[in-house]
Amino acid sequence: MGKRKRDCAGSTTVAAIFSIFLVAFTIITVYLFIAKPWWFPPSITEVGNLIDSQFHRTLVITGIVFVLAQLGLAWVIWRYRDQGKAATYSEGNNTMEVVWTLATIVLFVGLGLYAESAWAIVHFTPAQAGDLQIEVVGQQFQWNFRYAGADGKFGRYKTVEQALAQRKRGDQSATPWQLDMTDPDAKDDILTPIIAVPVNREVELLIRSMDVTHSFFVRELRLKQDAVPGMTIHMHFTATKTGDYELACAELCGLGHYRMKSTFRVLSDADFAQWLKDQAASQ
């Protein structure tokens, strides 16, 4: 009888370990989000600031839910630990089911509506007239950029027929992604391996791809856009801080994907004009 009583006395250890672990885990997680030892680089666009504010709003709301849920779980584990009695069970509570389902819907839809304006500025509002257009072409495994030059017009690329005819004549390097130099608009186009933009001026990218899907991603712009073969996708922004930033391909595009990087450079007006002049001279 005495032995059986000891068997049924219940256990505090397992419940204590689990509860303490959950509380410690919650405190460490919250600390990492507040102290921010690892965080995004600062945004350099107004849209980026809007996105960051939205991110923080979402993080605060979901953070509060997270903390309450983890502490609640720790409390339940401790409160209903094995106390040597027969277990009771509940078959659920419809009111609570309805309440937390509705609360989740309100939260998600609300945050979505709140974020809509930041999304719309980039995706539904066209760029202003007179912005600086730059063509971006993704290719396994590099980025190519093109500026329209003094005439402000992008020249034609070779047609497939032109490239094929050139190949027949023995020039095996001919492809339809080379400028057609018989087009006067193409003569002053400037091709570059890195992209530079003037600070505080609206830039419109025309994003294309030669082969597979790539993705134009600069963390500081808070923008990421796929480059899709056969399409020209427009994206616009105004960078507000000079500096050199990393441009990466954010779409797994083949074995060399990891080295598909370039530099995104934001320059003052004078530096940009000089840079473009240097690039033109080296064509």
Q: List residues near Cu ion by CB under 5 A.
A: 214, 249, 253, 260
Q: Could you tell me the smallest distance in angstroms from the CB atom of residue 196 to Cu ion? A: 20
CB of 264 or CB of 272, closer to Cu ion? 264
| Residue 132 CB, nearest approach to Cu ion (Å) | 24
Q: Quick one: 136 or 260, whose CB is closer to Cu ion?
A: 260
Q: How far is the CB of 228 from Cu ion (least distance, A)?
A: 12
Those residues whose C-beta lies under 8 Å from the C-beta of residue 31, and which sit 6 or more positions away, are none
DSSP per-residue codes, 171-188: -TT--TTSB-TTSGGGTT
Residues contacting residue 97 through CB under 8 Å, at least 6 positions apart: none
What minimum distance in Å lies between the beta carbon of 259 and Cu ion? 10
Sheet containing strand 261-267, strands side by side:
195-198, 261-267, 243-249, 214-218, 223-227
User: Which tokens hold the place of 279?
Assistant: 């690039």
Q: What is the DSSP letter of 137?
A: E
Q: Residue 140 in 3-state DSSP? A: coil
Looking at the Cβ atoms of 158 and 214, the one nearer to Cu ion is 214
* CA-wise closest residue to 217 among 255, 264, 272: 264
Peptide bond into 55 cis (omega under 30): no
Q: Is 75 helix (H, G, I), strand (E, B) or coil?
A: helix
DSSP state of 155: P
d(CA 279, CA 57): 43
3-state secondary structure of 268: coil
> Which token pair is 164?
């094929």
Report in angstroms how near the CB of residue 101 gets to Cu ion at its nearest: 41
Closer residue to Cu ion (CB): 239 or 249? 249
Q: Decide whether 110 or 256 has the Cβ nearer to Cu ion.
A: 256
Q: What is the C-alpha to C-alpha distance for residues 271 and 241, in angstroms, rounded to an integer?
A: 13
Nearest residue (CB) to Cu ion, 51 versus 248: 248
Of the two residues 45 and 262, which places its CB atom closer to Cu ion in the complex?
262
Find the shortest distance in angstroms from Cβ 252 to Cu ion: 8
Taking the complex as a whole, the smallest distance from the CB of residue 145 to Cu ion amounts, in Å, to 15
